[in-house]
């Protein structure tokens, strides 16, 4: 599409959204309250402490130590240079969109190139483990065992995708980071808190924006609850999971649908990832396709396992 017409389309869409916000001001106000509640009670407790700790690790050169002691797995299993283990292991702990932040660190330091960054994005799409166990397992599904199952399958599918995609680009020449400047622990802690709060408020803004979009769509189009839930989950993962948990369907289908939303991430998460990496021309289509593959595989496995368990 011509860039001029594309810009006109965006401008027109924004004006329409603005008009709809005024027309449905009460609904929009309620959804802002809801997004604030989800952000404050679900995201902050699971993200804030981990992000601060991870940022401290970065300041104290965790990249070097992780690549030294854990890098062989990345080299043998995924055929990537050892330094990229920093992104993989810390993403396991902190969840998306943190992998994009770590990938940006390696790109900024010229440790990896764009091909390696694109490959890393395909299999470092990890949801925060505390969010899966606490928010999805205990709060939404009220079943910690199913939450643990979703966590294991979600993570294992990333491993599978990384292994399948291992030959797409191979770079095994390990490069090293420049040594970070030595700062006091107080300065590092202050910077870590500041960086974490920036990410949290970015998440809050994007989540709220996409929840407003789904609310406006629902207000104008009367869709069945199942289709409405799926649409919300594709656009904004957290809202989709919330609606899926409240559907009157079998627990197997409910858990499978939630796993699909979690592994796909929602366009909201996709926007967060690529807004962090906006200065680099990474391949979104490639990332999008692997998110669909991830969602289909993980949700199918969860459904099959629960069919035997329940």
220-244: pLDDT as tens digits: 877 788 888 898 889 888 878 988 9
Q: DSSP for 35-87?
A: HHHHIIIIIHHHHHHHHHHHHHHHHTTHHHHHHHHHHHHHHHHS-B-GGGHHH
129-152 tens-digit pLDDT: 888 988 888 888 888 899 999 999
276-299 tens-digit pLDDT: 888 888 889 999 999 999 999 999
Q: Is the pTM of this model over 0.85?
A: no
Whole-angstrom Cα distance, residue 127 to residue 42? Answer: 13
Alpha-carbon distances of 175 from 22, 27, 171, 191, rounded to whole Å: 54, 52, 10, 26
Residue 39 has pLDDT above 70, yes or no: yes
3-state secondary structure 92-142: HHHCCCHHHHHHHHHHHCCCCCHHHHHHHHHHCCCCCHHHHHHHHHHHHCC
Residue 177 has pLDDT above 60, yes or no: no
- Residues sharing a CB contact under 8 Å with residue 214, sequence separation 6 or more, in sequence order: 231, 232, 235, 236, 239
Any idea which of 17-21, 38-42, 66-70 has the lowest mean pLDDT?
Answer: 66-70
Q: How many residues comprise the chain? A: 310
Residue 101 has pLDDT above 90, yes or no: no
> How does DSSP classify residue 171?
B
Whole-angstrom Cα distance, residue 167 to residue 163? Answer: 8
Which pLDDT score is estimated for 2? 61
Tell me what the pLDDT averaged over the chain comes to: 83
Any idea which of 205-209, 216-220, 295-299 has the lowest mean pLDDT?
Answer: 216-220
């Amino acid at each position: 599409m011509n860039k001029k017409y594309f810009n006109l389309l965006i401008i027109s869409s924004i004006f329409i959204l603005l008009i709809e916000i005024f027309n449905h001001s009460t609904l929009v106000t309620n959804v802002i309250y809801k997004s604030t509640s989800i952000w404050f009670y679900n995201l902050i407790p699971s993200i804030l402490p981990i992000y601060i700790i991870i940022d401290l690790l970065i300041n104290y050169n965790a990249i070097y130590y992780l690549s030294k002691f854990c890098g062989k797995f990345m080299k043998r299993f995924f055929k990537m240079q050892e330094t990229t283990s920093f992104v993989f292991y810390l993403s396991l702990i902190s969840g998306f969109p943190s992998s994009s932040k770590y990938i940006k660190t390696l790109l900024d330091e010229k440790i990896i190139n764009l091909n390696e960054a694109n490959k890393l994005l395909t299999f470092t799409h990890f949801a925060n483990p505390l969010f899966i166990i606490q928010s999805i397992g205990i709060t939404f599904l009220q079943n910690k065992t199913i939450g643990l199952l979703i966590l294991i399958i979600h993570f294992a599918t990333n491993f599978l995708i990384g292994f399948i995609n291992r030959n797409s680009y191979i770079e095994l020449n390990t490069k090293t980071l420049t040594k970070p400047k030595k700062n006091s622990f107080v300065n590092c802690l202050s910077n870590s808190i500041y960086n974490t709060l920036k990410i949290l408020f970015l998440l809050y803004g994007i989540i709220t924006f996409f929840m407003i979009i789904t609310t406006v769509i629902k207000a104008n189009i009367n869709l069945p609850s199942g289709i409405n839930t799926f649409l919300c989950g594709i656009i904004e993962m957290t809202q989709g999971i919330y609606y899926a948990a409240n559907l009157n369907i079998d627990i197997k289908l409910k858990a499978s649908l939630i796993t699909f939303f979690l592994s796909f991430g929602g366009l909201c998460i996709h926007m967060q990832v690529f807004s962090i990496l906006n200065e680099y021309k990474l391949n979104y289509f490639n990332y999008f396709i692997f998110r669909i593959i991830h969602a289909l595989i993980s949700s199918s496995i969860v459904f099959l396992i629960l069919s035997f368990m329940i």
